[in-house]
Structure 1
């Protein structure tokens, strides 16, 4: 099967996914000027993988609205919830094992949502095929980096650049 694995997300100009307090206020006030690429991206995926912090933050930010109800969601955590929404799976297995098993099943693409440590772990194993990175023109000075230190050196090819209001999105594919 070999389903593709994608990262789609925004970072500050200095490379952070969130500030030091796991907040995204700096992102949520961004003006996209009516331009968006997510709907096209969304058609390519049917599965999401994210860490527990990202999952909890997203639920809080959306007032506990159903999170992507038509897609399978795998939440990496050692503290599973007792009640799980439909199509939501709390898993404690290593992310490389999870992604390897998901890639072997039929389906569309797999979206890695947030989580710099998850992203770099998968990059180190050559398991991310493409990146969509929106760059927000704000400097945070500290926070959670998209690319923490690690052993994942590789080269990507720029497929597209999109101006999204004040943001710039880079669409990159891993060189094989």
Structure 2
């Protein structure tokens, strides 16, 4: 069975994944999110050059703990570093090959242009957004313009402490249903006013 390619990303309420200059300081941190559990769902991540450069600017190799990272770039030279492989290959072919390998799910880490390219190629299986309670008014969009794609809501979870709403959607023709949101600690169970989907 093919591995799922999951676009897992934080997004502002008005649809941006980063500010106008690529900033992410608007992302709300919620103590109930278990990042260790989230990272264990993946063993591979794919991203574009800009997403990689944001990670690399935070220190280290630009990788993610315990995850093999594949960076697609037309401008960076191909290279292999600990936990990171920069490739100049065609993303759709590379991702299709990765999906055919054994392993855990693949995290489509970003950005929006790579998401559009892989979505149009029929390779994205789920879209999982953590909607932040902020309006940016400008920035890098979740998805650049292109063909419309209808999604099916698979799961939802509200995190009352922060106001984050986590949504998990299946993409038509994708591998299996989108996964349930399991990276939120039990202490975040919704009480009064919060709502959790099935």
TM-score computed with the length of structure 1 as normaliser: 0.87
Task: List gaps (5 residues or longer) in structure 2.
Answer: 174-198
Distance 2:73 2:56 in 1: 15
Q: Could you tell me how far 1:69 is from its partner in structure 2?
A: 4.4
**Aligned-residue RMSD, C-alpha:** 2.1
TM-score computed with the length of structure 2 as normaliser: 0.78
Q: Provide Cα deviations, 1:80-131, integer angstroms capped at 9, x if missing partner.
A: 3576422311111222111111111111111001211111222222211122
Name the residue aligned to 1:4: 4
Give the 3-state SS of the residue equivalent to 1:24 in structure 2.
coil
The answer as to whether partners of 1:69 and 1:86 remain within 8 angstroms in 2 is: no
Give the 3-state SS of the residue equivalent to 2:96 in structure 1.
helix
Task: List gaps (5 residues or longer) in structure 1.
Answer: none
Q: Which has the higher contact order (CA 8 A, sep 6+)?
A: 1
Give the 3-state SS of the residue equivalent to 1:25 in structure 2.
coil
Name the residue aligned to 1:23: 23
| Mapping of residues 27-176 of structure 1, within 5 Å | 27=27, 30-32=28-30, 34-61=31-58, 63-64=59-60, 67-81=63-77, 84-163=80-159, 165-176=162-173
Number of positions where the alignment pairs a residue of Structure 1 with one of Structure 2? 172
Q: Could you tell me how far 1:43 is from its partner in structure 2?
A: 1.8
Distance 2:118 2:22 in 1: 22
Distance 1:31 1:53 in 2: 22
